[in-house]
Amino acid sequence: MIKLMPELPSHVVGFVASGQITAEDYESVVIPAVEAALKTHDKIRLLYHIGPEWTGFTAGAMWDDAKVGLSHMTAWEKVAVVTDVEWIRAGVKFFGFTITGVVKIFVRRRLGWWGKAMTWS
């Protein structure tokens, strides 16, 4: 399941992933939120928190994730991914070059839930 983080600035889209993430999660939560933010901002910031309750992505979810990232490659001002999952951190590092904005990875266990490093000033 993916939930939209409430009360973020309009140019920041934040998600919390837990359990199994499916294509339906992307189609009902992620894609509409990104598209809505892009209607009012040329560049947006993404905060994606993969919590300890996360169990995995379906193939459809991984495909939708790639489509969202690639279809809006120049729209990402900053991207922050918070996770303790090593293969996700490695994937973000490997594919981060495709995004024109700043991409940072944060290790959740080092930050706690909302560390100072997570502020979006």
- Amino acid 97: pLDDT: 77
Q: How far apart (Å, rounded) are the C-alpha atoms in residues 96 and 102?
A: 8
The amino acid occupying position 24 is E
Q: How far apart are CA 23 and CA 38, in angstroms?
A: 21
Q: Please tell me the predicted confidence (pLDDT) of residue 26.
A: 96
Which secondary structure element, helix H or strand E, spans residue 17, and what is its range?
strand 12-21
| Domains present along the chain, CATH in parentheses | 2-118 (3.30.750)
**Beta bridge mates, 103:** 79
Residue 10: closest CA among 47, 40, 30: 40
Per-residue pLDDT of the chain (121 residues; tens, 9 = 90+): 999 999 999 999 999 999 999 999 999 999 999 999 999 999 999 999 998 899 999 999 999 988 998 888 889 999 999 998 988 998 888 887 778 889 999 987 655 554 444 444 3
pTM summary value: 0.84
pLDDT reported for residue 110: 57
